[in-house]
Amino acid sequence: MQTRRLEAFLAVVEHAGFSRAAERLGVSQPTVSQLVRALERDVGADLLIRARGAVRPTAAGRALVPFAAQLLATVEDAAEAIGRADRDARRHLAVAAGEALATHVLPRAVAAIRERLPGLQVTLVVGDELRVVEALRSREVDAALLTDRTDTRDLTTHDYAPGRLVLVAAHGSRLAAAQAATMADLAAETLVVRDAGTVNRREVDAMLARADVRPRSRLVASTLEAVKRFVEAGLGVTIVPVIAVERELADGRLVEVPLDADGLDYRFVLCTRKDEPVAPAVTLLLELLRGTASGCDGAIDPRHERAGP
């Protein structure tokens, strides 16, 4: 039974006539009559006694009245709940990311989104690859920022930008003066690496294994900031995402050493759960990352644009 038919029926019962019901609903009297007739066909019984001067419900009509009112109230409650959920979704962004993206990409992205969605509430989960993927799979967050090196076969993947690993060293180090380096050159260096479990550590280990190279020694640091400070102090060299060292390279605190190696290039992706609608704030985040949002001043792009000669 369509809600318009129930509304018409209840209005006729309440006002004891089709004309007054039509006035109440803001439609024509024939429209109200057609709606009530259609409802009677739905239920298979006469619902109104159409007498001159007044209209009153039949026994079947009286039986239907409380249920019709309840059904309409339920529909109204459902519409309100849907609207409230949609408004909440538009006001909330829950996303997981590794340290590099959470530190160097998401702050600008969230600031740009808040210009379009004032009052946006943000939940950010920062962790290693396993933590980020689990946060998405467990519905702790609505989206995760990863790379195409992560196994995301059970997720929906949205590609948005290229990424690159770079070899960096401190000024005055042996490699800083080099025109280029190979993986074999790392055999004479102390390599500063992230904790096991991070994508960065896994990729660096894979590159070393492919080249069959073992660094002279290693320093293990839990955060990218610690990695950079170790390298700045001249304690070793490191291979990290270029987005993590853009400022240090621009300020001259670190030096990029061109590295001839496979596996330096990858893609950044935003992942969502399969077969589920994407939250509006997540859609806007993806548009901003791709640089296609209306009014966006270029992409919020996790790439290091190298200056010309």
Three-state DSSP at 159 gives strand
**Tens of pLDDT, residues 194-205:** 988 788 898 999
Q: Is the pLDDT of residue 140 over 90?
A: yes
Rounded average pLDDT over 216-240: 94
Q: Which domains does the chain have, with CATH numbers?
A: 3-82 (1.10.10.10), 90-162+266-290 (3.40.190.10), 163-265 (3.40.190.10)
Where b means 16+ CB within 10 Å and e means fewer, 14-25 reads ebebbebbbebb
pTM: 0.65
Where b means 16+ CB within 10 Å and e means fewer, 98-131 reads bbbbbbbbbeebbebbeeeeeebeeeebbbbbeb
Is the separation of the CB atoms in 294 and 216 below 8 Å? no
Q: Which two tokens stand for residue 92?
A: 């909330």
Q: Is the pLDDT of residue 1 over 60?
A: no
Rounded average pLDDT over 239-260: 94
Report how far residue 286's alpha carbon sits from residue 288's, in angstroms, rounded to the nearest whole number.
5
Report how far residue 96's alpha carbon sits from residue 136's, in angstroms, rounded to the nearest whole number.
7
What is the structure's pLDDT at 198? Answer: 84
Report how far residue 150's alpha carbon sits from residue 203's, in angstroms, rounded to the nearest whole number.
11
Q: By C-alpha distance, which of 165, 171, 182 is closest to 254?
A: 171
Pick from 12-26, 202-216, 287-301 the range whose average pLDDT is largest: 202-216
Average pLDDT value over all residues in the chain? 87
pLDDT-above-70 percentage for the chain: 91
**Tens of pLDDT, residues 152-171:** 999 999 999 999 999 999 98
Three-state DSSP at 144 gives strand
With cut-offs at 50, 70 and 90, classify the pLDDT of residue 293: very low
With cut-offs at 50, 70 and 90, classify the pLDDT of residue 226: very high
Report how far residue 301's alpha carbon sits from residue 225's, in angstroms, rounded to the nearest whole number.
20
Q: Is 15 left (phi over 0), alpha (psi -120 to 50) or beta?
A: alpha
